[in-house]
Amino acid sequence: MSSGSAPRGLDGVVAAQTRLSHVDGLAGELIIGGYELKELAGKVTFEEAAHLLWRGKLPDAGELTNLRREMAALRALPSETMHVVGAAAKAPPIDVLRMASATLSLDLPHPDAITPDADLAAAKLLTARFPTVLAAHTRIAAGKEPIAPRADLSHAANFLYMVHGKEPDPIAARAIDTYWVTVIDHGMNASTFAARVIASTRSDMVSGVTGAIGALKGPLHGGAPGPVLDMLVDIGSADRAEAWMRKELAASRRIMGFGHRVYKVRDPRADVLSKVADEMSSAALEDKKLFTLARAVEQTVLRVLDEVKPGRNLRTNVEFYTALVLQALGLKPGSFVATFACGRVAGWCAHVIEQHAEDHLIRPQSEYVGPRGLRLED
Q: 226-239, pLDDT tens digit by residue? A: 788 889 889 999 99
Determine which of 104-108, 124-128, 289-293, 302-306 has the lowest per-residue pLDDT on average.
289-293
Asked, for residue 242, whether it belongs to a domain, the answer is yes
Q: Report pLDDT for 4.
A: 55
Q: Report pLDDT for 256.
A: 83
User: 106: which residues sit within 8 A by CB, 6+ positions away?
Assistant: 78, 80, 81
Asked, for residue 320, whether it belongs to a domain, the answer is yes
Asked, for residue 267, whether it belongs to a domain, the answer is yes
Neighbouring C-beta atoms of residue 369, cutoff 10 Å: 8
Q: Report pLDDT for 1.
A: 42
DSSP codes joined into one string, 174-204: HHHHHHHHHTS--SS-HHHHHHHHHHHTT--
Asked, for residue 152, whether it belongs to a domain, the answer is no
Angle between helices 268-280 and 170-182 (to 10 degrees): 180
Read off the pLDDT of each residue in 212-223 and give the average, rounded to a whole number. 87
Q: Report pLDDT for 3.
A: 47
Please give the C-alpha separations between residue 271 and each of 29, 173, 322, 327, 367, in angstroms, as whole numbers: 11, 19, 12, 18, 41
pTM for the full predicted model: 0.90
CA distance 237 to 138: 29
Average pLDDT of the chain to the nearest whole number: 90
Nearest to 283 by CA among 371, 168, 367: 168
CA distance 132 to 111: 20
CA distance 243 to 43: 40
Determine contact, residues 326/277, Cβ cutoff 8 Å. Answer: no
Top-confidence residue, 259 or 45: 45
Q: Report pLDDT for 259.
A: 74
Asked, for residue 340, whether it belongs to a domain, the answer is no
Determine which of 13-17, 103-107, 112-116, 137-141 has the lowest per-residue pLDDT on average.
13-17
Read off the pLDDT of each residue in 156-173 and give the average, rounded to a whole number. 95
Q: Is the pLDDT of residue 285 over 60?
A: no
Read off the pLDDT of each residue in 145-166 and give the average, rounded to a whole number. 97
- Highest-pLDDT range among 151-165, 210-224, 230-244, 310-324: 151-165
Q: How confident is the model at residue 83 (pLDDT cuts 50, 70, 90)?
A: very high
Asked, for residue 28, whether it belongs to a domain, the answer is no
Asked, for residue 272, whether it belongs to a domain, the answer is yes
**Tally of domains within the chain:** 1
Q: Is the pLDDT of residue 2 over 50?
A: no
Q: Report pLDDT for 286.
A: 53
Query: CATH no. for residue 234?
Result: 1.10.230.10
User: 217: which residues sit within 8 A by CB, 6+ positions away?
Assistant: 94, 95, 98, 337
User: 179: which residues sit within 8 A by CB, 6+ positions away?
Assistant: 273, 276, 322, 325, 326, 339, 343
What domain range includes position 276?
A: 225-328
Top-confidence residue, 219 or 215: 215
Length of the chain: 378
Angle between helices 289-308 and 225-235 (to 10 degrees): 90
Asked, for residue 290, whether it belongs to a domain, the answer is yes
Instruction: Give ∠ CA 113-218-16 in degrees, rounded to 5.
Output: 50
Determine which of 1-5, 27-31, 119-123 has the lowest per-residue pLDDT on average.
1-5
Q: Report pLDDT for 151.
A: 96
Top-confidence residue, 302 or 44: 44
pLDDT in tens, 230-264: 898 899 999 999 999 999 999 988 888 887 666 66
Give the residue numbers marked as catalytic: 260, 319
DSSP codes joined into one string, 115-174: SHHHHHHHHHHHHHHHHHHHHHHHHHHTT-------TTS-HHHHHHHHHHSSPPPHHHHH
Instruction: List, edge to edge, every strand of the sheet that includes 21-24.
Output: 21-24, 29-32, 35-36
Q: Which letter does DSSP use for residue 36 in this model? A: E
